[in-house]
Structure 1
Amino acid sequence: MPVHNSEIADKFDRLADLLEIEDANPFRVRAYRNAARTVRGYPRSMSDLLDDGADLTELPDIGDDLAKKIQAMVETGNLPLLEEVEERTPPALSELMKIEGLGPKRVRALYLELNIKTLDDLKEAAESGKIHEIAGFGDKSEEKIRKRAEKFIGEKKRTLLIEAEDIARPLLEYLKKAEGLKEIVIAGSYRRRKETVGDLDILITAAKAGTASIMDHFTDYDEVEEVVSKGKTRSTVYLRSGMQVDLRVVPQICFGAAQHYFTGSRAHNIAVRKMGVKKGYKINEYGVFRGDERIAGKTEKSVYDKVGLPYIEPELRENRGELEAAKEGELPKLITLDDIRGNLHAHTKASDGHNSLREMAKAAASLGYEYLAITEHSKSLAVAGGLDKKQLQAQFKKIDKLNEQLDGIVLLKSSEVDILADGSLDYPDDLLKELDFSVCAIHQKFDLPGKKQTERILRAMDNPYFNILAHPSGRLINERDPYEVDLEKILEEAKKRGCFVELNAQPKRLDLTDEGCILAKKMGVGISIATDAHSTADLEHMRFGVDQARRGWLEKKDVINCLPLNKLRKLFKRN
Structure 2
Amino acid sequence: MLRATAVQYADELVRYLRATPGAERVEAAGSLRRCRETVGDLDIVATAAKGAMLVERFTSYPGAAEVLARGSTRASIRLKSGLLVDLRVVPERSYGAALHYLTGSKAHNIAIRQRGQERGLKINEYGVYRGKRWIAGRTEHEVYGAVGLPWIPPELRENRGEIEAAERGELPQLVSLEEIRGDLQTHTTDSDGRDSLDAMAAAAETMGYEYLAVTDHSPAVRVAGGLDAAGFRRQWKRIDKLNASLRGLTLLKGVEVDIHADGTLDLDDRTLAGFDIVVASIHSHFDLPEKRQTERLLRAIRHPAVQILGHPTGRMIGRRAPMAFDVDAVLAACAEEGVALEVNAQPQRLDLDDIMVRRAIEAGVQLVIGSDAHSTAELLFMRWGVDQARRGWATRRNVLNTLPLKDLLRKLRPRR
Scaled to the shorter chain, the TM-score interval is over 0.9
CA contact under 8 A between 2:34 and 2:155: conserved in structure 1? Answer: yes
CA contact under 8 A between 1:377 and 1:417: conserved in structure 2? Answer: yes
Q: Does the residue aligned with 2:214 lie in a helix, a strand or coil?
A: strand
The aligned residue for residue 175 of structure 1 is 17
Cα distance in 2 for partners of 1:368, 1:170 equals 26
The aligned residue for residue 474 of structure 1 is 314
Moved more, 476-485 or 305-314: 476-485
Q: Does the residue aligned with 1:438 lie in a helix, a strand or coil?
A: strand
Cα distance in 1 for partners of 2:63, 2:225 equals 40
The aligned residue for residue 4 of structure 2 is 162
Letter in 1 for 2:16: Y
C-alpha deviations, 1:18-70, integer Å up to 9, x for none? xxxxxxxxxxxxxxxxxxxxxxxxxxxxxxxxxxxxxxxxxxxxxxxxxxxxx
C-alpha deviations, 1:70-89, integer Å up to 9, x for none? xxxxxxxxxxxxxxxxxxxx
TM-score, normalised relative to structure 2: 0.98
Letter in 2 for 1:293: R
Cα distance in 2 for partners of 1:404, 1:213 equals 58
Cα distance in 2 for partners of 1:361, 1:496 equals 34
The aligned residue for residue 530 of structure 1 is 370
1:454 to 290, 294, 304: 294
Q: Does 1:366 align with 2:203?
A: no
The percent identity for this pair of structures is 53
Q: Does 1:277 align with 2:111?
A: no
Supply the RMSD in Å over aligned alpha carbons.
1.0
1:261 to 101, 111, 114: 101
The aligned residue for residue 151 of structure 1 is none
The aligned residue for residue 572 of structure 1 is 413
Which residues in structure 2 correspond to 1:131-530 (within 5 Å)? 159-207=1-49, 210-530=50-370
Letter in 1 for 2:295: E
Cα offset, 1:177, TM superposition: 2.0
Question: Gaps spanning 5+ residues in structure 1: where?
Answer: 1-158
Work out which of the two has the higher radius of gyration on C-alpha atoms and give 1 or 2: 1
C-alpha deviations, 1:167-206, integer Å up to 9, x for none? 1122112111222211111100011111111101011111
The aligned residue for residue 398 of structure 2 is 558
Letter in 1 for 2:298: L
Cα distance in 2 for partners of 1:398, 1:526 equals 31
Cα distance in 2 for partners of 1:337, 1:558 equals 14
CA contact under 8 A between 2:273 and 2:415: conserved in structure 1? Answer: no
Which residues in structure 2 correspond to 1:53-72 (within 5 Å)? none
C-alpha deviations, 1:270-310, integer Å up to 9, x for none? 01111111111111111111111111111100111111100
C-alpha deviations, 1:309-338, integer Å up to 9, x for none? 001011110111100110111000011111
Which residues in structure 2 correspond to 1:9-24 (within 5 Å)? none
Q: Does the residue aligned with 2:114 lie in a helix, a strand or coil?
A: helix
C-alpha deviations, 1:222-261, integer Å up to 9, x for none? 2211111110011111111111010111011111011110
Q: Does the residue aligned with 2:320 lie in a helix, a strand or coil?
A: coil
CA contact under 8 A between 1:497 and 1:574: conserved in structure 2? Answer: no
Moved more, 474-483 or 312-321: 474-483
Higher relative contact order, structure no. (Cα contacts within 8 Å, ≥ 6 residues apart): 2
Letter in 1 for 2:90: V
Cα distance in 1 for partners of 2:33, 2:47 equals 17
Q: Does the residue aligned with 1:346 lie in a helix, a strand or coil?
A: coil
Question: Gaps spanning 5+ residues in structure 2: where?
Answer: none
Letter in 2 for 1:312: I
Cα distance in 1 for partners of 2:210, 2:54 equals 46
CA contact under 8 A between 2:99 and 2:140: conserved in structure 1? Answer: yes
C-alpha deviations, 1:356-410, integer Å up to 9, x for none? 1111111111111110001010011111000111111111111112111111111
Letter in 2 for 1:487: V
Q: Which has the higher helix share?
A: 1
CA contact under 8 A between 1:315 and 1:550: conserved in structure 2? Answer: yes
Cα offset, 1:574, TM superposition: 4.4
C-alpha deviations, 1:488-533, integer Å up to 9, x for none? 2211110001111000011111101011111111111100000001
Count of aligned pairs? 415
Cα distance in 1 for partners of 2:137, 2:53 equals 26
Q: Does the residue aligned with 1:196 lie in a helix, a strand or coil?
A: coil
Moved more, 473-482 or 375-384: 473-482
Cα distance in 1 for partners of 2:222, 2:334 equals 28
Letter in 1 for 2:214: I
CA contact under 8 A between 2:32 and 2:42: conserved in structure 1? Answer: yes
CA contact under 8 A between 2:75 and 2:86: conserved in structure 1? Answer: yes
CA contact under 8 A between 1:374 and 1:415: conserved in structure 2? Answer: yes
C-alpha deviations, 1:120-177, integer Å up to 9, x for none? xxxxxxxxxxxxxxxxxxxxxxxxxxxxxxxxxxxxxxx1111102211221121112
Cα distance in 2 for partners of 1:417, 1:211 equals 56
1:516–1:553 Cα change, 3 Å:
same
Cα offset, 1:212, TM superposition: 2.0
Letter in 1 for 2:24: K
Q: Does the residue aligned with 2:231 lie in a helix, a strand or coil?
A: helix
